[in-house]
Amino acid sequence: MPDYESHEHDVLVIGAGGAGLRAAIEASAAGVRVGLVCKSLLGKAHTVMAEGGIAAALANVDERDSWKVHFSDTMRGGQYVNNWRMAELHAKEAPDRVRELEAWGAVFDRTPDGRILQRNFGGHKYPRLAHVGDRTGLEMIRTLQDHGVHKGMDVFMEHTVVTLLKDGQRVVGVLAYERERGRFKLFRAKAVVLATGGIGRAFKITSNSWEYTGDGHSLAYDAGAELIDMEFVQFHPTGMVWPPSVMGILVTEGVRGEGGILLNKEGKRFMFAEIPDNYKEQTADNEEEGWRYTQGDKDARRPPELLTRDHVARCIVREIKAGRGSPHGGVFLDIAWIHKRIPNAAEHIKRKLPSMYHQFKQLAGIDITREPMEIGPTTHYVMGGVRVDSDTQMSRIPGLFACGECASGINGANRLGGNSLSDLLVFGKRAGEYAAKFAKEQKPGAIDGAQLEAAERHALAPFERGGQGEAPYAIQHDLQAMMQDLVGIVRREDEMQRALTGLQSLWQRAAKAGVTGNREYNPGWHTALDLSNLLTVSEAVVRSAIDRKESRGAQFRDDFPDKDPAFGNVNTVVWKGPDGAMQLRREPIPAMREELKKVIEEMK
């Protein structure tokens, strides 16, 4: 057996974003030894970028809000293919998780009477997002880190996990490499929690950071877990489109929550043109009412800019395709117009949206208090992920748990903004709790030297091929371009079949990728290792999207533009077959409990 530096824990958490930190805190509180491994520095996880807020039915701003409204908003937004039990737990537990965060030191924006302030966001019936300006993720990470480090967990920064190790069916540890020196390390654990985030880097235009290469999805898949709903990739309607160097960077939905409107090049507010039937009752049919809603008028209905992200993104694409887009291929998002409605509008915008003000000023030379922004859709979030038990977050592999963006279920076909940060807290806590419970019931498993050797051989193969092999960046670039063009917001069978063929050739090229230099901070090597993760998740997206022959939520099929009731009650499941090929099946969603059906009926 190779002789690595090794560490032993009861629970090993992979990922130090909101989900991983919350899981690690809970497992530590249960009295077990906890290790936390992350690919970047502590504090740099993607969660730190979250802007708009955390969705929780605290009912601080509108007393009509409750877990029932939040539950039915989440199910409606997800077009009813969500795991309803997860949506129920999430809606019920999110308020406690937010209050707990406050008790641990998070300084939220306040209502005049000192309670946590909540803002409007797309698809949420009432103002529901607890926030800290537009820097909520930073406050969340800071608070969880401060709380977590005092719990005594061991933190391993800049370590990338490359494989999960198994003893029979059970997961018993991981092999990781230290990015700084390139050395391998063995982590033994009785339970492993994946909290590795999303897959946005499989696409060319994305709001996601370099870390989002689908590692957790792919590690779980290779270890025998199932992935579900991978066809549902969220394209956020508002990313920056200009200059090219910043294309894809997110423009928070908070801009629309504060009254921002979408305009085409003719200056027309185009979102009123098409309001989906299931939202007609809840949506304003005139500009005056929409404005009153954003200003807190409880009798007004939401403006159509605050419809769900899938719908808003498609309307933007429609305008661009019809030749009514902005000069750089997007449309306009205007918050400056509110100076017609309120005094001191510029100060108000800077106070409510400080990051957006600086982002546009510094990156695009635009003053958003005076001019409209140019925006267009950007790959933002993946609803699909590791299939887990709704209550415990354990996958079908004993000892392997998943939470946060790399797990799936709660969001169905489309996630509502703000529901990710609350998901991290609710299901991060649950994953930590049940992983600790599982670990307490187990003896340490045996580590198989052959698995370690195979993983090391695979990881070092790009060095063997050296300069003779193809540069990994070229392969990554071609994959991203192909996914963007052929499997993006608008999908067709023929294009996706071309993507499937393209993936076969990319797999072959990845197997021949080569890198030069040594193992210390070698980004070429890191990219070469990311490739198989990116290819696995891309293949899962393409196969699942081909199979779902309908349009629902984030999946829009040009060749099947309507919802098909036959798909309204199924999840798409993929897993690795015995021969290594990806398998797929449709699985019926279990019938919802009667009392929850009633809740949805009541809230219609």
Ligand X SMILES: Cc1cc2nc3c(=O)[nH]c(=O)nc-3n(C[C@H](O)[C@H](O)[C@H](O)COP(=O)(O)OP(=O)(O)OC[C@H]3O[C@@H](n4cnc5c(N)ncnc54)[C@H](O)[C@@H]3O)c2cc1C
Give catalytic residues, as residue numbers: 236, 256
Q: How near is the Cβ of 152 to ligand X at its closest, in Å? A: 19
Site string for ligand X, 433-472 (x = CB under 6 A): ----------------------------------------
Shorter beta-carbon distance to ligand X: residue 331 or 402? 402
Which strands, in side-by-side order, build the sheet including 373-382? 233-240, 373-382, 331-334, 261-263
Give the sheet arrangement for strand 129-130, strand by strand.
54-55, 129-130, 118-119
Residue 101 C-beta: closest distance to ligand X, Å: 13
Does residue 178 belong to the site contacting ligand X (CB under 6 A)?
no
Measured distance CA(360)–CA(365) in Å, rounded = 6
* Residue placing its CB nearer to ligand X in the complex, 211 or 334: 211
| Residue 545 near ligand X by CB under 6 A | no
Which pair of structure tokens corresponds to residue 261?
């409107």
Could you tell me how many residues of this chain bind ligand X (CB under 6 A)? 40
Q: Residue 13 in contact with residue 37, Cβ under 8 Å?
A: yes
What is the nearest approach in angstroms of ligand X to the Cβ of residue 553?
16
Query: Which is it for strands 227-228 and 385-387: parallel, antiparallel or unpaired?
Result: antiparallel
Asked if residue 49 binds ligand X (CB under 6 A), the reply is yes
Distance CA 3, CA 372 (A): 59
Report the nearest approach of ligand X to the CB of residue 214 (Å): 9
Determine the residue type at 160.
Answer: T
Structure tokens at 524: 């070429």
Distance CA 576, CA 98 (A): 37
Of 534 and 592, nearer to ligand X (C-beta) is 534
CB of 256 to ligand X, least distance (A): 13
Sequence-ordered list of residues with C-beta below 8 angstroms from that of 210, at least 6 positions apart, any chain = 201
Does 571 bind ligand X (CB under 6 A)? Our answer is no
Our finding on whether 388 is near ligand X (CB under 6 A) is no
The one among 46, 97, 387, 557 contacting ligand X by CB under 6 A: 46
Is residue 192 a contact residue for ligand X (CB under 6 A)?
no
- Which SS3 state, helix, strand or coil, does residue 370 take? coil
Closest approach, Cβ 304 to ligand X, in A, equals 21
x/- letters, 398..437, toward ligand X (CB under 6 A): ------xx-----------xxxxx--x-------------
Show the binding pattern over residues 194-213: x = contacts ligand X (CB under 6 A), - = does not.
-xxx---------xx--x--
Residues 72, 129, 432, 36, Cα dihedral to 10°? 140
With CA atoms as reference, report the closest residue to 508 among 479, 487, 480.
479
Does 214 sit near ligand X (CB under 6 A)?
A: no
- State the DSSP string of 62-105: -TT--HHHHHHHHHHHTTT-S-HHHHHHHHHHHHHHHHHHHHTT
Residue 315 host element (H or E): helix 309-321
- Binding flag, residue 136, ligand X (CB under 6 A): yes
50 binds ligand X per the rule CB under 6 A: yes
**Which of 10, 15, 433, 509 lies at the binding interface for ligand X (CB under 6 A)?**
15
Q: Does residue 160 interact with ligand X by CB under 6 A?
A: yes
Quick one: which segment of 34-42, 308-316, 329-337, 343-351 binds ligand X (CB under 6 A)? 34-42
Position of tokens 């129920």?
Answer: 88
Query: What single-letter DSSP state applies at residue 560?
Result: B
Token pair in block for residue 269: 């507010």
For position 139 contacting ligand X by CB under 6 A, the verdict is no
Rounded Cα gap, residues 35 and 153, in angstroms: 6
**Would the CA dihedral through 322, 305, 352, 354 be positive or negative?**
negative
* Binding region for ligand X (CB under 6 A) out of 189-197, 259-267, 309-317, 536-544: 189-197
Binding residues vs ligand X (CB under 6 A) = 14-20, 37-40, 45-47, 49-53, 136-137, 160-161, 195-197, 207-208, 211, 215, 250, 381, 404-405, 417-421, 424
